[in-house]
Amino acid sequence: MQRIFKLEGKVQQYAWGGYDYLPQLLNQENNEAKPFAEYWLGAHPNHPSKVLVSTPTEAVGVTTENLDAFIQQDATNVLGVPVEERFHALPYLLKVLDVRQMLSIQVHPSKVEAEKGFLLENEADIPVTASNRNYKDDNHKPELMVALGSFWLLHGFKPEAELKQVIDRTPELQSLAPVFEKEGYKGLYEKVMTLPQVEVNARLEPLAKRVVPLYEAGKLAKSSEDFWAARAIQSFCKDGQYDRGIFSVYFFNLLNLQKGEGIFQPAGMPHAYLEGQNVEIMANSDNVLRAGLTDKYIDVPELLKHTEFVGTVPQIIKASGSETFYEAPVPEFGIYQYEVEAGYLKTLLTDSAEIFLCLEGEVSLTAAGASLSIRKGEAAFVCAQTEVELQSGAGGKVYRATAGCV
């Protein structure tokens, strides 16, 4: 049986995406200047990748199958016994993101809560594709990202001492200090996220008058919360109506990851991506609860219901030489980064069904007598329990996605 296949993903053209990075990576034209936000590689039923199950001939073109259907034809053989018995499907989704505009303030539900929410929305006859749907599937969505360059994000609530400092030094937030002192993270965040819109406007308009002129004059550094607040005001606030998501810019950890650095975000952790490109791996889900800084559906009560109101000390994962394993504390996934030089050769055994994604240069994979090369922007799908020879003549960078339960 063939064990290794070319894999074609799906581009998601969300409004916040960039115009150049993903088209250049994927060698696609973008003459209409559409936003290329995410490139999905996986078997999510709403957007499955395509497996190239045959090579073209003069008479017949390439034959493809949806990855989810391809797996189910022989799930035990393709996924491996541990993954098939536990998940019955490919448990992860691999993505490349290009964040041009700030993403929504968001939280992902736990597995149990995702199952409940999905069932309730089904019983309410809300179509899965509806714009007002919170739960697109019944799975949780823990995620791990690796920066492909300088990448900015918000990640969990600041530790208590840091949050107090930010409140104290930001004139427009100082009146919230007693709330945080008496009611902690939950009381503080619920207050600003449930204020009547007129009060949101009254609190944020003075902030806008202070920070937007500084932003426009180039006097704010990206390491300042004021920079991102001003950008959010310009992007999302119209006609004197201010987006309450701006409070989160000050309350959450503001991080700048460098190339090769990774970070994990569990269920319940509030976060938002701000700028840059990354590789992201997550449980096979599209469940996102949003509370601001977006044109998509917002459901503040549902987000608050699932938020963990605790201070977070960010745990940044550093790259470690030519081969780095970014381990996640969940059974669905893990991811390797290989920075390979010319003449590189490594033999490995796939424990589960795995996806190899080349982002720089070119690498070749040989398995069960078959060989294929993947260049920049190309990917391969390899069945479980397959001995693979990974090599590169000229060097390159490749990410290897795997299940974490084996």
Binding site, annotated residues for Zn(2+): 106, 108, 143, 271
3-state secondary structure of 191: helix
Nearest to 229 by CA among 173, 301, 297: 173
Q: What are the E-state strand segments in 174-320?
A: 252-257, 262-265, 271-283, 289-290
Instruction: State whether the Cα torsion 144-150-153-159 is positive or negative.
Output: positive
Chain centre distance of CA 125: 28
3-state secondary structure of 52: strand
- At 33, phi and psi to the nearest 5? 55, 50
Q: What are the E-state strand segments in 32-138?
A: 38-42, 50-52, 64-66, 92-99, 106-107
Place of tokens 């070749």: 364
Out of 3, 133, 231, 290, which one is annotated catalytic?
Answer: 290
Percent of the chain as helix, strand, coil, to the nearest 5: 30, 30, 40
Evaluate whether 100 touches 18 at the Cβ level (below 8 Å): yes
Burial of 218 (0-12, 13-18, 19+ CB in 10 A): exposed
Q: What are the E-state strand segments in 158-284?
A: 252-257, 262-265, 271-283
The answer to whether residue 231 is catalytic is no
Q: How far is CA 46 from CA 94, 114, 124, 265, 354, in A?
A: 14, 17, 20, 23, 20
Tokens of 145: 């990202």
Chain centre distance of CA 43: 16
Residue positions forming the annotated binding site: 106, 108, 143, 271
By annotation, the residues acting in catalysis are: 290
